[in-house]
Structure 1
């Protein structure tokens, strides 16, 4: 490996982590890294005082441009949009540093509430621990403007943050096990008892699979929805598997060898407060390819 490539590879995981948190989609993050690599390859590396800062700056700016385009495209997306999982389980060596709250799918979805500029400033300052001065330089804004963006982002995230900001993974796993049992032996009251009174259901199909096109609210509505889903799944022999997605428990649903849904939950420790169901065939196909390379966890 030549020295220029070796430097890029040395920082690649950090660059990918930043791009993925910016965009919420692994394939988009890889595209950003490809563009960053092309610019790096054309750069006179010997003239750089801080290669990592240069790489982070370029990656951030490429991701910012892509995120601005993505926000425009998502405004015309069919139904809700959900981030795409990065990891199945969290026991691979490269995933050991990816267990923070900032990588959970719930938090990535929360970041969608921020403008592209706020998101970049918040991630660089609060997640990747660059100073306000360093962040401002990377974004080509004043330090005061950087502080304002980070402050607005933190304020908005505090307002919108779920009631259980740091997920209790053991409680989530227990609730998912109860959820699977209720799906296998569907009963309206059993299902209803799982959900908080103001529980939320959001599904992402991109208009390419059968799913709710708008968020649903309330334990009664969610119980009726999943009673219907459970009966359909029993008819088609759907099986369920509890795995780790981005460091927290999630439910994968399979029909034969096809992944038909990937769902993760928010909880208050006792009840499910939100269900996020990924039903987009393309996203599921990419996730299935990763999943099949790993041994199953909890099969039901």
Structure 2
């Protein structure tokens, strides 16, 4: 087997492998590192002994992602202020056609997955999102099939109990609300903002202590609206600030630039036709990789792709 064949198989599956790593780690930067390390290991594999490339590489990437989670555990403990997943810039068409994929990379789901143990998170992602068999998952996480079944049940119940009761808004509704939100915030329309925010709307910011941001969540529609109007008022006074809209984690996102430097990403979560959460990522370390849209996937266009279709994520 040639190095070219190793590269060809890995490249074909890269969007899937990246998505697995990202959903386990919540970091695009760390996921890139995991894929690089995984490829170096893959390049040494005798392909004649590989019966299912997708399953083999998924196991390899999962193991490396779990190693990365353990290595970063201390950094998470010492983190200044709230910790949020690293935002993922997506192609507008990438996740929208796949409801399970779109929800699985949403900021809300990634924040929820942070409440699971690393093993529970890996098992949940591989089973509920990607539809892998228990045998493959057991090999990936280094546990027995029986244990993996128990972990999968526990993780599913945990997610089920903590997910919001309302379905995410459809694409047309999301676009309309995002447009109304920007118009109200830009013009200082308090009443307009309040009409868009859920009563318990929450603003949560991640700066890592490296940028100015609220250290504690802001809760309640009136408080969040006042906070937003202050931010936009400050931005209007600074001509160097430029605002763009983008799709991050399959949600509307405001990208704030100072000259050509990205200074913040603000994601808007919409449920039951109201803005339920605003996620602000200000830590410059988490913005560095937000340069070009990423490709994500739940499947591989390959004759070896024999895994069963994933079921819808558990709902409350």
TM range (shorter): 0.7 to 0.9
Higher share in helix: 1
Asked if 1:271 corresponds to 2:251, the answer is no
Partner SS state of residue 78, structure 1: coil
Listed one character per residue, the Cα deviations across residues 235-281 of structure 1 (whole Å, up to 9, x for unaligned) are 11344322212333222223332323211122233321111111122
For residues 50 and 58 of structure 1, what CA distance do their matches in structure 2 show?
12
Q: RCO (CA 8 Å, sep 6+): is it higher in 1 or 2?
A: 2
Q: Match for residue 68 of structure 2?
A: 66
One of 44, 47, 50 as aligned partner of 1:48: 50
Q: How many residues align?
A: 289
Listed one character per residue, the Cα deviations across residues 200-245 of structure 1 (whole Å, up to 9, x for unaligned) are 1101111111100111111121122112112111111344322212
Structure 1 residues 91 and 100, CA, compared in 2 at 3 Å: closer, same or farther?
Answer: closer
Written as runs of structure 1 = structure 2, the 5 A alignment for 1:22-171 is: 22-91=24-93, 99-171=101-173
For residues 191 and 158 of structure 2, what CA distance do their matches in structure 1 show?
36
RMSD of equivalent CA atoms: 2.3
Kept in 1, the 8 Å contact 2:29–2:289? The answer is: no
Kept in 2, the 8 Å contact 1:118–1:150? The answer is: yes
Structure 1 residues 272 and 281, CA, compared in 2 at 3 Å: closer, same or farther?
Answer: same
One of 196, 199, 216 as aligned partner of 1:197: 199
Partner SS state of residue 83, structure 2: coil
Point out where structure 2 has 5 or more consecutive residues left out of the alignment.
294-316
* TM-score, with length taken from structure 1: 0.87
Written as runs of structure 1 = structure 2, the 5 A alignment for 1:222-241 is: 222-237=224-239, 238-241=241-244
* TM-score, with length taken from structure 2: 0.83
